[in-house]
């Protein structure tokens, strides 16, 4: 080897490369631990209506490292654990600032008595609002209930009605309770989607139920050519 110039050059290049890597690693470690680049400010941006300032400050407490060493992923994870925070984008701003853009959940409905559902159909924990509709369904069906609710609202608009409660049973049958107190039994999706049954009911309502001048408490729409009624106070 010692009398082979090519092998000597290769060995020298390898040692030089290893030396450069070690120096770069040592320099990086010094940079990450240097007190010369402290983070002096963490800025949280976004229209915050429900997330508590104290919760955000607590989430950011104790973050270590200088400008180069702060773990941005850890900052994001901490902030996304704050109630009402949906998503966070974090970046470094030279020379001494960390900025976090925060997106809050926008409450769309109540998920039973335990949580809320946002406009993306995602469940989250937050303070309840009695004016919101109530969704009830199997775990993981929040997105489907959100999508169907929007469609039900469109279909019921000609009647001036809106769902107060939307229920998806474990057997995947749909039930609605309207703001007027009327309960609609839509059944399961089959050859005829439940939206089609509801649209047929809305179209027939002005010339049928509206003319009877009575209060109805339950309408069963699970029939191909009509619907069944339950009238409050009427027995037999």
Query: Over the stretch 94-129, which tens digit does the pLDDT of each residue have?
Result: 888 899 999 999 999 999 888 999 999 999 998 888
Residues 120, 93 share a domain: no
**pLDDT (0 to 100) of residue 110:** 97
Among 104, 129, 159, give the residue marking a domain's end.
104
CA distances from 173 to 116, 182, 203, 219 (A): 22, 17, 22, 15
Check residues 17 and 225 and name the one with the higher pLDDT. Answer: 225
Residue 22 lies in a domain: no
**Residues 226, 192: Cα–Cα separation, whole Å:** 13
Q: What is the pTM of this model?
A: 0.80
CB-CB contact of 200 with 213 (8 Å):
no
Residues 86, 115 share a domain: no
Residue 179 lies in a domain: yes
* Burial of residue 202 (number of CB atoms within 10 Å: 0-12, 13-18, 19+): middle
* Residue 185 CB coordination number (10 Å): 19
Residues 68, 138 share a domain: no
**Residues 164, 183: Cα–Cα separation, whole Å:** 10
Strands (E), the chain: 41-45, 85-93, 97-104, 107-111, 115-118, 123-124, 134-136, 163-168, 173-178, 183-188, 216-220, 228-231
Lowest average pLDDT, out of 2-16, 28-42, 100-114, 132-146, goes to 2-16
Domain with 92, as residue range(s), is: 41-104
Closest CA to 78 of 55, 98, 59: 59
Q: How many domains does the chain have?
A: 2
DSSP 8-state assignment for residue 106:
-
Residue 17 lies in a domain: no
pLDDT band (50, 70, 90) for residue 193:
very high
Residue 4 lies in a domain: no
pLDDT over 70 for what percent of the chain? 82
């Amino acid at each position: 080897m010692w009398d082979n110039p090519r092998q000597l050059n290769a060995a020298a290049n390898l040692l030089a490369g290893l030396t450069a890597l070690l120096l770069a690693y040592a320099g990086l470690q010094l940079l990450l631990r240097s007190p010369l680049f402290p983070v002096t400010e963490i800025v949280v941006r976004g229209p915050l209506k429900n997330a508590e300032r104290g919760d955000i400050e607590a989430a950011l407490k104790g973050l270590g490292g200088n400008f180069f060493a702060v773990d941005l992923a850890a900052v994001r994870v901490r902030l996304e654990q704050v109630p009402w925070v949906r998503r966070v984008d974090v970046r470094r701003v030279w020379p001494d600032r960390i900025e976090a853009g925060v997106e809050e959940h926008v409450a769309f409905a109540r998920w039973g008595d335990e949580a809320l559902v946002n406009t993306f159909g995602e469940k989250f924990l937050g303070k309840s609002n009695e004016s919101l509709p109530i969704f009830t369904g199997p775990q993981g069906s929040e997105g489907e209930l959100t999508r169907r609710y929007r469609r039900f609202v469109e279909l019921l608009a000609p009647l001036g009605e809106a769902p107060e409660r939307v229920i998806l049973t474990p057997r995947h049958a749909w039930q609605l309770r309207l703001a007027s107190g009327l309960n609609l039994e839509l059944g399961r999706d089959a050859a005829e989607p439940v939206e089609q049954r509801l649209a047929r009911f809305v179209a027939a309502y002005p010339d049928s139920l509206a003319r009877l001048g009575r209060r109805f408490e339950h309408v069963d729409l699970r029939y191909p050519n009509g619907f069944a009624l339950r009238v409050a106070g009427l027995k037999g």
